[in-house]
Amino acid sequence: MSGYVYDVSGSPIAKASVSIEALNIITLTDPSGSFQFPSVAPGEHVLNVSAIGYEKHTKNITVHVGQECKMTCVCHENMVTLEQVTVTAEKREDMLQDVPLAVSAISAKKIQDYRIWSVKDLTSIAPNLYVVNGGSDQPLYAIRGIFPSSLDPSVAVYIDGVLQYDAGTAMSQFYDAERIEVLRGPQGTLYGRNAMAGVINVITKKPGNRTTGFAETSFGNYNAQRYTAGIKTPIVNNKLFTGFSASYNKTGGYFTNTFDNSRFDKIHSYGGNLYLRYLPSDKWSFTLNGKAQQSSNAGAFPYATNAQIALENPYKTSQNATGEERRNFYNASLTAQHYGRYFDVTSISAYQYVNRFIHNGYWDGDWTTYDVFGLKYFGTPKDNYSTTITQEFRLSSPADSKSPLKWTAGAFYMNHPDKENGIMVMGADAAILLQDPYAPYELHTPSKLDNSGLALFGQATYSITPKLDITAGVRYDWETKILHTRTDKIKEGFPVTPVMPSTRMNGKYRAFSPKLNMAYKLTPEALLYATYSKGFRAGGLNKRTFDPDYYTYDPEYSNNFEIGAKTTWFDNRMTANLTAFYIDWQDMQVTAFARSSASITIQNAGNATSKGVEFELAARPFKGMQVDYNLGYTHGRYSRLISPDQTTGMEKDLKGNQLIMQPAVTSMLAIQYSHPLFRRFEGMVRGEWNYLGKQYFDLENTIKQDPYSLFNLRAGVTSRNVDLVFWARNIFNEKYLSYTYSSGSKMAMIGIPATYGITLTGKF
C-alpha cells in the first residue's frame, strides 16, 4: 500500500502519521507527503491519517491479493470539520457513526479538553453515565439507572483489552490515553463478565515509527500537583516499538478534620505504563504491556454523620480515628494477533495483583469523635491482596473476506483469588452508645475467596442488502465462588470467643445472554437501529453475616430494548444521535437489613424498570468553534421492593420509589473557541455546564439531592509544541451531596469544592 497526504491547497504534509490500527501498523510520510506499507494483509481496513494542525482523516480501504493499493488523502486544516473517531466497540475497527449501538467515544483531544484525569471525572461525559464518588479510590458506575450494591460492577471496565475485576482492583488515573469508549446497555456477547449496564473501554496510545514525547505539569489550590511524562519511539522501523509513560498526583486534602484541625484526605498516587510492540510480519503482531499504580490516601472517607450536617458544615469531618489507605496495583498483559486466510486470531493473556492495606491506625466507622467502632486490616499487605488471571481467545472472520457475513467467536476464562484479614474495632464508647457490655473488643474476620469463571461467546452480522444488516449474538457464562471465613471476638484478658465458626460458602451461577440487532443505512449520513439484549450480573457471597439464610445471593438479570438514530450533517460539521431505551431489571441485588442477624447484607429483594432517552450533539458551526452537548434522561422505578425496617423489624413496601444513585437527568454542554494569535500560537477559551437532576441515595427515598449545576472553565494559549492553560472546576463552589448511605451506619459526603490551577504541557 502506498499513497500521498496533502492539504487542501495541494501542498504535501510531512511527518503525518498513517496507521491501520486493526493491523497494528504505523508509518510516517516523507517530505514529499508520500508513505508506504511494504506488506499489508488483504481485506477491508480503516486507514487513519493524522498530522499536527490538521483534522484527523479516516478512510475505508480495500486491499486485494497481489495488487498494490494506491491512494491520496487530503487533510483539512484544524477547526473546519468534526474530528473523525474510530472505535473498537464491536471488537473491530469501525467509524463511530457506523456502529449500531449507543456508544460515546472520547478522543485524546476531548480527554484533554474536558480535563479528564481520573474515572471520577467521567460523570455526564456520556449520557446517563454517573460516577459515584463515595471516598477512597473505588468509584462505582451507574448507567441508565443500573447501579451495583457491591464492589462487583454492573459496568465492566477494560483497559487496553484487559478486564478490571471490580472497583477495588481497577486503575483509576488517566494519562496518555488514545480514547475512552462508553458503551451503554448490556455488552455480554463480546465483552467479559458483569457488563450488564455497559462497558467503559480505555485505550492507551501505542508507539509507532514516529518518536514522540510529552511532559506536563499542573498546580492548583488545595496543594494539588500533577506531573505526567512519556515517550514513544521505534527500535526497528516497522518492526519493533516501545513506549513509556508515568504520572504522579497529589492533593493536600479538601476536608478538615475538626477533631485535631488537620487536613483529612491527603492523597498521593504514582503510576507507570510500559509498552513493547513487535510486528514480525504483516500477519503477526505482539504487544507486551505492563502497568503499575501505587496510591496513598490519608483520609479515605471524609464523612459527616448525616446529610444535613454534611451540607451545613461543608468540607468538614470530625473523626478521632484515622488510617492511611494504601493500595498497590500491578498488571501485565500479552496480546497476540494473527491475520489468516480463513480467520483472524486474537489472544489476550493478563495477570493482575492488587493489595490494599490500612497503615498507621484504622478507619473511623462511626464518623464522630466517640470511640465507637472502626475498621482495619491485620497482618501485612501480603495478607490482604487479590490476583486476577484472565485469558481471552477470539476468532473472527478474516479482514479480506468478501462474504456478507462477518463474525466473532471466542472463549473467556477468569480466576480471582482474594484474601482479606479484616478487623471490626469496637471501642470503649460502644458500651454506652450501643449498649454493648462487652466493649471494647475486636471482631477478626479472616476470609479467602476464590472466584473462577468460563464463558463462550459469539456474534455475527449478516448484510441482507448493502443498507440492511442483522446481528445476532449469544454468551453463556459459568461462574463459581467459594468463600472460607470465620469471625472471632478478641478482648484483652479474655479467651478468644468464636462468633461464627469456620464456614464455607458456595455459589454457582449460569447465564444465557442473547442479543439481536437490526441496522438500516437510510443514507450514507443516517443510520437507524433497534436492539434487544439480555443483561446478567453474577451472584455473590456475604462474608460478614452470621445468618446462613443470607450467606449467598443470586444473579440479577435484565431485558433491554433500544432504538436509535445516528446522523451526520453539513459535510461532517455536525453529528446528532438519538437513543431511546427500556429496561426490565429482575432479581435486583439490594443492600438491605437482615432481620434475624441484625446485619447488613446484599439480597435479591426486588425488580425495577428503567426507561429514558439519550441525545448527543457535536458541531463546528464555523472555524474555531466547537460545541458538544450530551443529554440523558432516566425514569427508573422499583416495580417490586420489600425491605425490612431496621428499627421496627416490619416490612416496608417501596414499590414506585426512584432508583438510587442515578440522577434523573445528566447533561453536559461544552463550548470551545480557538483563534490564531501570533506565529503558530492560538488562544483558546472553553466553558462547560454540567447539570444533574434529582437523585436519591437510599431505597426509602428519604435522602435526596435536588438538581444542581457545575460550571467549569479552561482558557489559555496552545501551539504545536507548548500549551499553557488555566482551568477551574465547580467555579461557583456548588455544595451538593456526592454520597450517603442509610443502612446500618449513617454517613454522608459532600462533593469536591471549587478547584483551579494551571497546566503547562510540552510535546514533540
Phi, then psi, of 38 in degrees rounded to 5: -60, -35
Instruction: Please give the torsion angle defined by the CA atoms of residues 395, 284, 4 and 77, in that order, rounded to the nearest 10 degrees.
Output: 60
Amino acid at 555: P
pLDDT at position 334 is 98
Grid look-up 506488506 returns 39
SS3 365: coil
Task: Take residue 549 and report the three cell numbers written for it.
Answer: 439464610
Homologous superfamily of 204-763 in CATH?
TonB-dependent receptor, beta-barrel domain (2.40.170.20)
CATH of domain 1-78: 2.60.40.1120
Whether the predicted model's global pTM rises above the 0.75 cut:
yes
Residue 205: how many other CB atoms lie within 10 Å:
19
Strands 682-692 and 708-718 turn out to be: antiparallel
- Is residue 560 within 8 Å of residue 583, measured between CB atoms? yes
Neighbours of 499 (CB within 10 A): 13
Which ranges in the chain are annotated with CATH 2.40.170.20?
Answer: 204-763
Angle subtended at Cα 393 by Cα 392 and Cα 396, rounded to the nearest 5 degrees: 125
Q: Are 461 and 469 in contact (CB under 8 A)?
A: yes
In 10 A of CB 723, how many CB atoms? 20
CA distance 80 to 663: 35
CB of 17 closer than 8 Å to CB of 49: yes
Cβ atoms < 10 Å from Cβ of 702: 11
For the beta carbon of residue 500, count every other beta carbon within 10 angstroms.
19
pLDDT score, position 420: 92
Residue among 203, 201, 181 nearest 191 (CA): 201
Residues in the chain with pLDDT values less than 70 = 8-11, 32, 52-53, 77-81, 379, 400, 593-599, 644-649, 742-745
Q: Which residues pair with 225 in a beta bridge?
A: 219, 250
Round to whole Å and give the CA distance between 205 and 245.
10
Sequence ranges of the chain with CATH classification 2.60.40.1120: 1-78
- Cβ contacts of 626 within 8 Å, gap of 6 or more: 79, 618, 619, 620, 670, 671, 672, 673, 674
pLDDT of 126: 96
- Containing 250, the helix (H) or strand (E) segment is strand 240-251
Instruction: Please enumerate in sequence order all residues whose Cβ is within 8 A of that of 524, keeping only pairs 6 or more positions apart, or say none.
Output: none
What is the grid cell recorded at 54?
Answer: 490538521
CB 275 within 8 A of CB 243: yes
- The full DSSP string for 629-655 is EEEEEEEEEEEEEEEE-TTT--EEE-T
613: phi > 0 → left, psi -120 to 50 → alpha, else beta; which? beta
C-alpha cell at position 88: 473498537
For residue 618, what pLDDT is reported? Answer: 96
Whether the upstream peptide bond of residue 440 has omega within 30° of 0, thus cis, is yes
Gap between the terminal Cα atoms of the chain: 27
Hey, what's the cell of 443?
471482631
Please give the pLDDT value at position 427: 93
Place of cell 484487559: 162
**753 phi/psi in degrees, rounded to 5:** -75, -175
> How far apart (Å, rounded) are the C-alpha atoms in residues 640 and 624?
51
Per-residue buried b or exposed e for 595-612, using 16+ beta carbons within 10 Å of the residue's own CB: bebeebbbbbbbbbbbbb
Q: How many residues are present in the chain? A: 764
Q: Which three cell numbers stand for residue 513?
A: 445472554
Helices (H) and strands (E) in the chain, counts: 3, 50
The answer to whether the beta carbons of residues 56 and 83 sit under 8 Å apart is yes
- Is the separation of the CB atoms in 389 and 414 below 8 Å? yes
Contact 310, 739 (CB under 8 A): no
Closest CA to 153 of 175, 173, 168: 168
Whether 454 and 411 have beta carbons less than 8 Å apart is answered as yes
Residue type, 731: I
Query: Which set of grid coordinates corresponds to residue 421?
Result: 484479614
> For strand 363-364 and strand 129-132, is the pairing parallel, antiparallel, or unpaired?
unpaired
Phi, psi of 150 (to 5 degrees): -145, 180
C-alpha cell at 346: 486474537
